[in-house]
Amino acid sequence: DDALLLRFLRARKYDLQKTERMFLDCEQWRASYNVESVVQTFAYTESFQVNQVYPRFYHKTDRLGRPVYIERLHTLDVKRLFEVTNQDRVVMKHVREYEKLMRYRLPACSAKVGHPLEQGCSIIDLKGVPLSSFNQVRKVLQSLSAVAQNYYPETLGRMYIINAPTLFTTIWGIIKSMLDENTVAKISVIGSNYAKTLLEDIEPENLPKFLGGDCNCPGGCDNADVGPWND
């Protein structure tokens, strides 16, 4: 549709030749990866175990009505992660979540605000992540970010990397090199005083308490999947 084509155009700065190449590459990938089958039949049976070491989830919306995606990397232990799953299945789960974003979450959020929404807001929490593990974490995130940039372009509206340690500045320089400049411009790296910044974009009742908001979902915000897509 027009909105999809516009996302690819923006990702390639309206260069028609580059946009066509990107779009065709995406279509080829979708066919070879059998994305439709992933959506319909993929069973992530190890979900509970994975969430213990790599919690990531959607939770309500920001002030613009966009879905909020949260990753808490303090428990990400790559060795333990790959004891219960593997790289291919982590990526497959990531693809399925992007398809759910495009097919269900964004349309539901758009209906609630009364106009089309194409992007989400992300929070990446680095609290407690030892610098010694950043290289392993980077490898996992790199494979996932490649899927996002190449096949779901321009779906990131805003990203906050919070609880970033001082030495993360050096690592951020490496990470930035893997991202295009449009994506980098949407990312803010913040230390431990992040709550005020997050609350400028997200209502207190929509932000989990562990991130400085007021929300405390029964059973935990990380398990609730609360948002317009489930209203």
Question: What percentage of residues in the chain have a pLDDT greater than 70?
Answer: 98
Q: How confident is the model at residue 131 (pLDDT cuts 50, 70, 90)?
A: low
What would be the CATH architecture of the domain defined by 34-230?
3-Layer(aba) Sandwich (3.40)
Give the mean pLDDT of 1-26: 94
For the stretch 153-209, pLDDT in tens is: 999 999 999 998 877 777 788 778 877 788 889 999 999 999 999 999 999 999 999
Residue pair 172/51 in contact by the 8 Å Cβ criterion: no
Q: What is the mean pLDDT of residues 82-97?
A: 94
- Calculate the CA dihedral of residues 8, 12, 16, 17 and round it to 10 degrees: -110
The amino acid at 135: N
Nearest to 205 by CA among 222, 217, 196, 191: 217
Label residue 141 by pLDDT band (50, 70, 90): confident
pTM of the model: 0.92
Residue 200's contacts (CB-CB under 8 Å, 6 or more residues apart) are none
**Mean local confidence (pLDDT), 58-82:** 92
**Distance from C-alpha of 167 to C-alpha of 186, rounded to nearest angstrom:** 21
Average pLDDT, the chain: 92
84 band by pLDDT with thresholds 50, 70 and 90: very high
Q: Where are the domains of the chain?
A: 34-230
Give 166 or 31, the one with higher predicted confidence.
31
pLDDT digits (tens, 9 = 90+) for 33-65: 999 999 999 999 999 999 999 999 999 999 999
Q: What is the pLDDT of residue 79?
A: 86
